Amino acid sequence: MSLEPMLIVELVLLGLCTGFLAGLLGIGGGMIMVPFITAILTARDVAPNLAVKMAIATSMATIIFTSISSVRAHHKRGAVRWDIVKRLAPGIVLGAALASLGVFSVLKGSVLALLFAGFISFSATQMLRGKKPTAARTLPGSAGQVGAGTVIGFLSGLVGAGGGFVSVPFMTWCNVSMHNAVATSAALGFPIALSNVLGYLVSGQGLEGRPAGSVGYVFGPALLVIATASVLMAPVGVKAAHALPVASLKKVFASILFALAGYMLYKGLTA
């Protein structure tokens, strides 16, 4: 598959949108990229099951770069809870390894698409409910946060997202403010993405039917274009995140997730 002009335009637009949303919502952009990369690859004759897997892996690879740009902007505003990052990161690495090196390569792309739809629908519902956490509820201890990190890393590895769809609701449920949760989720995107991508590169070696420029499950040309565009746009999203009220952030987050859940549900049922 060559990078024809139309494909470049599609990937640049996708990168700009996902970079902005990564900074705005702390979701790493994966929730946006996976459906669109799936559609792009499927339209170019990549088998549907393989297209879903490559979309997930390529999306995760771009998060390595997007998270760096996004977290730098959040850190300058003092919004990142580095104490939470340090406690969740070990579990994230463990969960990512279990997903990307084992379960991901075994499951069919259609199953992964359905998992993607289900998990983000649940996250969107939790956001819209707006249920207030118990005032006394706080984050669990170190062991509990390692366990939570393992779940976040594992689920992220299966659906190609930076973990914001799990970590943001988890942190707000534990009375971490929305702005701090979004910023901390952006910081968590780096260990999530790096750990999972290493697994995708290994487990996807030797597969037939991949487009030219692929390394493991990662579609290299798309990674290059999307990452470049998204890194430029992430700081703009961060600026918007600190200007918008919490209620608006939650509504934007939830509405985007519901729309993309519907698309991936369709792909999972028809693949």
Placement of tokens 């956490």 in the chain: 133
Phi, psi of 215, rounded to the nearest 5 degrees? -125, 110
Q: H or E element: which one contains 218?
A: strand 218-219
Residue 215: the pLDDT is 92
Q: What is the DSSP letter of 27?
A: S
pLDDT 10s digits, 112-124: 888 888 877 876 7
Q: H or E element: which one contains 82?
A: helix 82-98
pLDDT 10s digits, 250-259: 777 778 778 8
Please report, for residues 55, 138, 157, 243, the alpha-carbon distance to residue 35 in angstroms, rounded to integers and kept in the order given: 8, 34, 15, 28
Tokens representing residue 55 in the block = 């979309």
Contact 186, 235 (CB under 8 A): no
Q: H or E element: which one contains 215?
A: strand 214-215
Residue 225: the pLDDT is 92
Domain ranges of the chain: 5-270
User: With a threshold of 0.85, does the pTM exceed it?
Assistant: no
Enumerate residue ranges in the chain where pLDDT < 50. Answer: none
Tokens representing residue 241 in the block = 């995140």
Tokens representing residue 76 in the block = 């300058």
Tell me the one-letter amino acid at 198: L
pLDDT 10s digits, 177-215: 888 888 888 888 888 888 889 999 988 888 888 888 899
39 burial via Cβ count (<10 Å: 0-12, 13-18, 19+): middle
Q: What is the mean pLDDT of the chain?
A: 82
Please report, for residues 136, 140, 190, the alpha-carbon distance to residue 64 in angstroms, rounded to integers and kept in the order given: 35, 27, 5
Placement of tokens 């918007």 in the chain: 240
